[in-house]
Amino acid sequence: MGKRVGVLMGGWGEEREVSLKTGEAAVAALEAEGHTVTRVFAGPGLDRILRTAELDVAFLALHGRMGEDGKVQGLLELLELPYTGSGVLASALAMNKPFAKKLFRLHNLPTPQGYRIGRDELALLEERHGDLGFPCVVKPACGGSSLGLALVREPEALAPAVAEACRYGGEALVERFVRGREVTVGILGGEVLGSCEIAAPREGFDYEAKYKGGTNYFLPPRLSATRLANVESLALSAWRALGCRGYGRVDLICSEEQNDFVLEVNTLPGLTPTSLLPKIAAQRGIGFAQLVERILGLATRDEAGVAGMPGMASAVQPVSLRAVAG
């Protein structure tokens, strides 16, 4: 049976444009599958919109801060509305790259050496950088879509790159550059869906390369079967280390020295015509509409109740907001 689905798109941040593209693609696919779809443009007053929308489930097409970082997920938990993607804690951890790296290390998962620095700590940059060396990668500590990403080759370019990255949330992550193949692993329903190698026209898969062409994709990646199996196992371990669920992508670097490193976990990857997860799904024979339908089928929410409490509604059942609105 068709569901009343609210596709949450737009949002507050710098990834609004990408979110709108993901949202419109999801709307078309869900309507083709027979669902009643409402476009929900996220922004101030989102709670009031959701209380009156009479939805069965929320399909999250949001990206970046205030959408992928656990804040909207927390609102949906309060409204008892199931939603796609990871829960509150996993979303927050994955979005905060420095904290995610700490958990990767706790689980003995290799990740490039690096450090976090805030916009109010730029005077300490040289001291923090220490012997990390060059080239290095600078990116926002919390963000996506490769916005604010820079490959820094010379010491004099470090401070401007960090200042630019800090524009997106106030903190930057500086990592040792690892030369190798960039591979992303798609995960659906807690299992590896497949992998894709990203061959950008220049080192560093930045916003221009990601959304404006010139990048080549190899499905499967140009790795031996044994090494690819190890890479996909590493990706799934990183996914589980953060407590993710539903679907997503894990980005890694496969170095020329035969070592593999986890870069980050994306809990709400893009679903635009150029996005990587749909490419991976297509390689497995899963069309775009089918992928979106499977993502919708995984929608749930955190189990917040106490097991066995009388009158406690199941945390994963769709709940109408009509009563809440009244």
* pLDDT tens-place string over residues 105-145: 999 999 999 999 999 999 999 999 999 999 999 999 987 65
- CA–CA distance, 90 with 92 (Å, rounded to integer): 5
Q: 141, 181 in Cβ contact below 8 A?
A: no
Annotated binding-site residue? 69: no
Q: What is the pLDDT of residue 219?
A: 97
Q: What is the pLDDT of residue 115?
A: 97
Q: Which residues contact 51 (CB under 8 A, 6 or more apart)?
A: 79, 321, 324, 325
pTM for the predicted model, two decimal places: 0.88
Q: 58, 301 in Cβ contact below 8 A?
A: no
Q: What is the pLDDT of residue 323?
A: 40
Higher pLDDT, 87 or 200: 87
What ranges do the domains of the chain cover? 4-85, 113-176, 180-267
Higher pLDDT, 303 or 247: 247
Higher pLDDT, 146 or 182: 182
Q: 174, 126 in Cβ contact below 8 A?
A: no
Active-site annotation, residues: 15, 145, 275
Annotated binding-site residue? 251: yes
Whether cis (ω within 30° of 0) applies to the bond prior to 98 is no
Mean pLDDT of the chain: 90
Task: Return the H-helix or E-strand segment holding 292.
Answer: helix 288-297
Which tokens go with 168?
A: 């997106």
Which stretch of 33-47, 91-105, 136-150, 176-190 has the lowest confidence by average pLDDT?
136-150
Sorting pLDDT into bands at 50, 70 and 90, what band is 204? low
Angle, CA 205 vertex, CA 203 and CA 206 arms, to 5°: 110
Interhelix angle 97-106/88-95, rounded to 10 degrees, is: 100
Same fold, 4-85 and 180-267: no
Annotated binding-site residue? 264: yes
Fold adopted by 4-85: Rossmann fold (3.40.50)
DSSP 112: -
pLDDT tens readout for residues 258-317: 899 999 999 999 998 789 999 999 999 999 999 999 999 999 999 755 555 555 444 444
Pick the CATH number of 113-176 from 3.30.70.580, 3.30.1490.190, 3.30.1490.20, 3.40.50.150: 3.30.1490.20
- The CATH code belonging to domain 180-267 is 3.30.470.20
Q: Is the pLDDT of residue 212 over 60?
A: no
